[in-house]
Amino acid sequence: MSFEIVKPGVNFNFVGNRYTAFTVSGLLILASVISIIWNQGLNLGVDFRGGLNIQVLINDPDIQADQLRVLMAGGGLEVSSIQNFGENNNEFLLNFQTEEGLDISNRAAELLTASLGDKAEIRQEEMVGPKVGGDLRQKALYAIYYSILMIIIYISGRFEQKWGTSALFMAILIGVVYLLSLFGVGVGTLIIIAVIVTLITCYAMHFSYALGSILALIHDVVITTGVFSILNKEITLSFVAAILTIIGYSLNDSIIVFDRIRENLRKPRNKGDLPATINKSINETLSRTVLTSGTTILALISLYFLGGPVNRDFALALLVGMTVGTFSSIFVASPILLLWEKKKA
């Protein structure tokens, strides 16, 4: 006997509240974009911009980040950023934009020892060259882009039954991106262009399911990135891993709902009433959505509070992404499908 937290027969009016949901999503996306522009981009970690990270434990609650910055500056060391974390906010992550990792590390250790003595303990050091950081940044962006591209092919083939058209579209898009890259166009710009072309193509070819899925994925990625920008969190490789996980999770959630919509649309009694059919399909999969998302979010909350500072940002990204992804599969992907089908009609 299966357990259902949402009893059969419920009929929440999700579709009827789509414009309220669109307003909430629009405000969140707007806040994310404004934050990224205001901060002049994202706070890239040492993985992507190169440099030296030194994690320091200060056994003195009176020592603040500004005092450490002044201490380093007094010794001729310029700190690019200082992040405060740890159980009692007594651990600091100092980032130096330099290629002289060993020399800077030794000088920083000498300054900390001379000023704070046994109160300062260097817990970890991480050095990445600028060339390696740039290469990692490019590969991370390409990983996100190609994952979205593969999703378009899968959704279009499965729900639109247009595998050949989807494959041709993918080949053309990869070719365009490759040609643009030969002219020195940056990876970030390439991805923005590719996403815009993808949305236009899905619109022109009537890939309604793919259009809803891609817009939901963009929605989830932008808001998750925006939260990190608002909180001034570093964008590291673990954040990229979280984004790829969010993309897969959000897609899976949307597919469950889309499958039920397609199944219900085949029933003669549901033909001609698309809004009611979509609403019914969302309600029928609601128990599965709540159980899956709820247990995942509970696990992530535990990881965030009990997993230690190393895993905290990764857990935060997943926590935000999973929550927003659940919201988008109900209030973004399916309502966009409805709006598109209404437009076609």
Q: Are residues 322 and 288 in the same domain?
A: yes
**pLDDT in the model for residue 226:** 93
pLDDT at 290 over 80: yes
pLDDT confidence band for 34 (50 / 70 / 90): very high
5-14, 181-190, 325-334: which is most confident: 325-334
* 290 against 103, higher pLDDT: 290
> Average pLDDT for residues 326-342, to the nearest whole number?
84
DSSP at 2? -
Distance CA 61, CA 326 (A): 40
β 120-128/81-85 pair status: unpaired
Q: How many CB atoms lie within 10 A of CB 273?
A: 12
For range 142-150, the mean pLDDT: 74
Dist. CA 111–CA 121, nearest whole Å: 12
- Asked whether residue 309 carries a pLDDT value surpassing 50, the answer given is yes
Provide the domain limits for residue 89: 51-128
| Per-residue pLDDT at 167 | 74
78 and 193 within one domain: no
Query: Of 128, 155, 182, at which residue does a domain stop?
Result: 128
pLDDT digits 0-9 by tens, 84-120: 776 656 788 877 776 655 677 788 888 888 777 777 8
Cα-flanking dihedrals φ and ψ of residue 77, to 5°?
A: -110, 130
- What are the start-end ranges of the E strands in the chain? 51-58, 81-85, 91-96, 120-128
Is there a domain that residue 10 lies in? no
What confidence category does residue 315 fall into, taking pLDDT thresholds of 50, 70 and 90? very high
Q: What percent of the chain shows pLDDT beyond 90?
A: 12
Cβ atoms 211, 290 nearer than 8 A: no
Check residues 209 and 156 and name the one with the higher pLDDT: 209
195 and 338 both lie in a single domain: yes
Q: Is 80 helix (H, G, I), strand (E, B) or coil?
A: coil
pLDDT the model gives residue 1 = 46
Task: Provide the domain count of the chain.
Answer: 2
Residue that is last in its domain, among 128, 151, 182:
128
- Looking at the predicted structure, is the pLDDT value of residue 132 above 60? no
Q: What is the pLDDT of residue 32?
A: 93
Residues 71, 174 within the same domain: no
Are 143 and 208 contained in the same domain? yes
Is the pLDDT at 316 greater than 90, yes or no? yes
CATH of the domain at 100: 3.30.70.330
- Asked whether the predicted pLDDT for residue 271 surpasses 80, the reply is no
Asked if the structure places residue 5 within a domain, the reply is no
